[in-house]
Structure 1
Amino acid sequence: MTFYLLLRRAHPILALIAGALSLALSISLIIKHVEVVREVKEVAVPLVATLPAMEKHLTVLKEQVELSELNRATEVGSIGERLNVYVLPRETDLQRLISTIELLELTLKKQNQLSQASDIVIGEPRPYGSEPTVSSRPLTVSFAANEEGMQQILLFTQLAGLLTVGDALADDEIALLYASLEEENPVGIVSLEQFLSLDLLRYARDSHAAEDQLQRSLPSPAFGSALKSVTKSSLLLSAQRVLLGDFGRQIEEKRLWPVQFLLPQWFSVEAGGAPGWYKVSLQLSVLERVGE
């Protein structure tokens, strides 16, 4: 009887201990969940913040469409010809575009920045907003990547559709360069325009040579300061980050440059299967030219 009474009295104590352990475990799981959510936000928020820069593509797009109408009979290899054939084609070369994205994925896998990717799905053309001269195809892809891998992919989409150094600069950045010339060396505008028309891939592959040549032509301290400010805070830095290494070399060798115009429409980020890794789904608009 005594043992039975002790056992009955022990039940509330055991229940209390079990409850405490359960509560501790629940708190631990909640804390872990909060940490994962915080980790995802720390990656996703900076990436979302870069998307407004895509509006630069819209401005460039209208300029590119106008150029495409003015350069129908240009010589092979010129900016106008590459624009019409590769950047804003009347019909997307699906294999070329898929090969470019798969090459980026393969490069990131070799760098341990991406572990797996889904098939690339490209839909049929459809109207692109209210722009009568442009249509778009939806492109969707999912992948598992770390933060660096996600940033590389997003930077790649920002560079897609750009042809020259000038395309990668905002209007105020170009204005800063011209203003620094007008103060000391207005004759140097020709050298600056040659720099701005330089192929973006060529610049990214050897930016020091391009900048050194420009500064030898325009040695003023004011211009040197303006050039340094622009090249270190614009898409030119992103171009070097994406195109300087193995990906840039292969995209040049395989003649996959320039890349067709791409605009991010949405992306989602979830915590991945390992710390620091994420599951990302991305949809892009592949832009095409409408009409002759």
Structure 2
Amino acid sequence: MKKWFALIVMLTLLLPASIASAAAPTDPIKVFVDGKQVKFDVDPIMSNNNTLVQYTTVFKALGMNYSWDQQEKMVTGYNDYILMHLKIGENVAYINNKQVKMDTAPTVLKGRTLVPIRFISEATGAKVVWNGKQRTINITSAPEKTELSVWLRDQQWNDSFASVMESESLELIDQDKAHIRYEAIDIAGFTAYPTYYFDGDKLFSLDYTFDVQAQSNMDYLLAIGTLYNELEAHFGEPYRDELYFYDEADYHEDVEQFADSIAAGEAELTTTWQIGYTEIELAAFSDEQGGIDLYISLFNTK
């Protein structure tokens, strides 16, 4: 009997500690980003098994910029790689111009706009772990990316003419007040000439003009496919991919004739990626001499 009594006493002593180690269902949810607790003006709430938190605080913790459109009731969060739009009461968001469905719509509580934290965090590439016992959310930020910087040749949008001139290591070909063109570089095995364009002494576009040594129009089509794969490997699927025929009478679905149609000035091909506020466009259209002009252009859309 003494052994059983001692065991019961031991379990009785351990039970309160076990209960105390788990958070009560009514305790506020705690959020940690890279090990640091995030404090909110309004406590996080649960909706449809999703945690919603104050958008300004979580965007800041994730290293993102943000804005609020009162007329549209829309939250915008962005960094160099992500541009997201979320509307109050709507469970459809836009990530880099792609429509994405959310389980729970943003809402307003006590004058603060709340957004689903898992959706926001994972859209940036962060890892999210929910601990139901402790009622905690642990977020690990996404690794720093460099792909866009490589395509921008380490330049920044709105850099000045003089700044680009000073930092660019390529040999200058020509320039005026609005553009600077440099010697050729290799992209995916093709010769490309980078040209910077300025508006009011602010960099707003970078074009790569390709010199494809084509024996036939199909060689252009192969070049387009290779460059498409190169961009997709860095930035994922584009949000727009369009072969546009100027006249419906010229439309056809024969892939082998696409290049001939583009060279003849009957069609153009445009594929577009949105990376934060940077738009990347792969475009092919007639050079008006029976060949094809092929470009990759980066634009500042902000």
Q: Does TM, normalized by the shorter one, top 0.5?
A: no
Greater strand share, 1 or 2?
2
Compute the TM-score of the two structures, normalised by the length of structure 1.
0.30
Greater helix share, 1 or 2?
1
Considering Cα pairs closer than 8 Å and 6+ residues apart, tell me whether 1 or 2 has the greater RCO: 1
